[in-house]
Each structure stands twice: as structure tokens, then as C-alpha cells.
Amino acid sequence: MGVRERIRERVREMGETGMAAGSAIVSLNSAGISSKPHRKIAHFRQLSSRIKVPHFLNLQCRSPSFSSSGIKAHVASIEQANTEAMPKVEAPVVIVTGASRGIGKAIALSLGKAGCKVLVNYARSSKEAEEVCKEIETYGGQALTFGGDVSKEADVEAMIKTAVDAWGTLDVLINNAGITRDGLLMRMKTSQWKEVIDLNLTGVFLCTQAAAKIMMKKKKGRIINIASVVGLTGNIGQANYSAAKAGVIGFTKTVAKEYSSRNINVNAVAPGFIASDMTAKLGADIEKKILEIVPLGRYGQPEEVAGLVEFLALNPAAGYITGQVLTIDGGMVM
């Protein structure tokens, strides 16, 4: 006999014998509907649809075999009790840095669609960031924008405070914001070096340190740093960028070790060449050369990176992955 049939039968018995509401609660528990809080970060919408016990009881109230007003009152009080005892599954609160365009935008949309509350950070593109929020809201999610430079400590503190003030906590941080200032080493200006290191490496340090303060108190969190395959291989004309991304990889492994006892998973995703504004400026000739070294023969899409990040950020199966660098590069680095 299935769960619904067992409950229906039990409720019918109550109608015949006038049993107390408490027995019906026992019956619900023995039918396998647990009232224990579900602690895992998971797809909020899927989970919340699985725990709508009161809605199921509503259906029983309308059953013709269940018409006496005394029994209706019992069921109403069971429903009330279950609503109060029902596990409160909160949508994970996520910050995505540099989420107005490209890979960050795709990540914000993917996590918003999965039911997260998303802070969409940007530096200059406020209109684009607003559009990302609107799109998340069309999926029924919650989002807000935060304009700020994540290479600046004060901006990072204000960003974390904005998320916590709005939603009370922080569960997931995606360090995505990044820039390139390419040039051969012999001609690279110190300003080119500093700009890239400040945002792509120091920014990751600042955001991670601030976010981890919140996550360590609740002993739960996931941090995903967007590195790059050039942090593993190096790349002509990108001494600054490769150094920053290699730094992010070393940083990821260290922080994963430091925070493992606090149940905070820290991983890096290292994309190859992904279609975005960053790669659009490379030009057709360089693109042709790049595609010759990509076994799959095409650029990756931001949505493909977002799918991997969503897995690391939300999936219970990713709970046992930490300190790793996952390449997503069409086979460039094997």
C-alpha cells in the first residue's frame, strides 16, 4: 500500500472512530513523512515541493468520507501543527562577482533558476546587472544588484553586508570577476601587472576572507573560484593574468585545507576559451589559432561553465569535492 493510501485509510478510520489529532500525526510519521529539518543545500524548488504535507492534507479534507465538522476541526489542527513543525527550507544565498556579463551572468542566471537568492555584483554595467536580476525574478527567484570594485576592501565589505542585510546569511560565493591587460613581458607596464593582480587575485582573497567569516560560524559553505587553464599552462602575452590565475589555484587549495574542518568546500574552475566579451576582443586570426589547439574545435559557452559551477555550488554530490581544479576547456589541457 502506498503512502497516500495508508494516510487516506488512517484518516478514514479517524472519521469512523473520532480519534484524536495526535494519533494522526503519529500516522503521518509512520507513513514515512519526516519532520526532521533537511540540512543539505539542494535545489530549493525541488525540495520544497517534496515537503508540502499540509497541501496533501487539504485534499483529504475535501474527501466525502470525511465530512463531520468535528473531524474537520481535528484535521485543521493537524494541518496547523504540521505547518508549524514543517522543516523551513531556505533558498541558498549566493554572491556572484562580475555577474553583469559573460560567464558571471550565466552563473547568476543558472543559480537564480535553481532557486537561490542571488547578489549580482558588477563594476560599471549597472543596466546589464539590472537585466540579470529581472531575468532571475521571471523565474520566480530573488536577486539584487551591487555595484562595487571587488579589488577594494571597503567595497567587498559593503557587498557582503548588503547580502546579509537582505537575506540574513551567505551560503555560496562565486569569485568570477576578472580582467585581462595583455602584453608581452618586455613591454608590460607595472600598471597592467597591478590591475590584473589586484582584481583577479587580491579580489579573490578579499571576497573569500569576508565570506568565510560568515560561513565558518554556520559551519557550511561553498566557494568556487573562476581560474583559467592559463594558470596551469601559462600563455604568451599573459604573464600578469597567468600569474594571477595560478595564484588563485594555489589559494584555492590552501583555503580548502584551512576551512575543511568548518565544512566549507573550496574549488576552482579553470575554463579554456569561452565565448564572452573577454575573448571577443582577441580577433579572428587569434581565434583561428586557438581553435587549432582545442580538440573539440570550438569555444565553450558561458552556460557550460555555469552548469559545472552550479553542480559544485548546490549539488549534494559535490559535498565531497574540495581543493580541486576542474578544467572545462574542450580538451585543451589533458
Ligand X SMILES: NC(=O)c1ccc[n+]([C@@H]2O[C@H](COP(=O)([O-])OP(=O)(O)OC[C@H]3O[C@@H](n4cnc5c(N)ncnc54)[C@H](OP(=O)(O)O)[C@@H]3O)[C@@H](O)[C@H]2O)c1
Known binding-site residues for NADP(+) equal 98-101, 176, 241-245, 274
The 8 Å CB, 24+ separation contacts for 180-186 are 180/238, 180/241, 180/278, 181/240, 181/241, 182/237, 182/238, 182/241, 183/237, 184/236, 184/237, 185/239
Our finding on whether 274 is near ligand X (CB under 6 A) is: yes
Catalytic residue among 122, 241, 259, 299: 241
Our finding on whether 327 is near ligand X (CB under 6 A) is: no
- By CB under 6 A, name the one of 15, 92, 271, 330 that touches ligand X: 271
136 touches 109 (CB < 8 A) = yes
Compute the least distance from the CB of residue 312 to ligand X, in Å.
Answer: 15
Binding mask 96-115 for ligand X (x = CB under 6 A): -xxxxxxxx-----------
Please identify, using beta-carbon distances, which residue of 55 and 281 lies nearer to ligand X: 281
Beta-strand pair 221-226/142-147: unpaired
Question: Could you tell me which stretch among 28-36, 47-55, 80-88, 117-125 binds ligand X (CB under 6 A)?
Answer: 117-125
Cell numbers for 331, please give them.
580538451
Please identify, using beta-carbon distances, which residue of 89 and 268 lies nearer to ligand X: 268
Which residues, in sequence order, are CB contacts of 62 under 8 Å at separation 6+?
none
Compute the least distance from the CB of residue 300 to ligand X, in Å.
Answer: 7
Distance between CA 297 and CA 2 in Å, rounded? 51
Question: Could you tell me which stretch among 61-69, 213-221, 256-264, 272-280 binds ligand X (CB under 6 A)?
Answer: 272-280
- By CB under 6 A, name the one of 43, 273, 318, 330 that touches ligand X: 273
Phi, psi of 144 (to 5 degrees): -145, 155
Please identify, using beta-carbon distances, which residue of 168 and 331 lies nearer to ligand X: 331
Report the candidate in 200, 296, 215 with the shortest Cα–Cα distance to residue 251.
Answer: 200
Which residue carries 537575506 as its cell?
Answer: 167
Identify whether 241 is a catalytic site residue. Answer: yes
Which residues of the chain form contacts with ligand X (CB under 6 A)?
A: 97-104, 121-125, 149-151, 176-179, 199, 226, 228, 271, 273-274, 276-279
Catalytic residues: 241
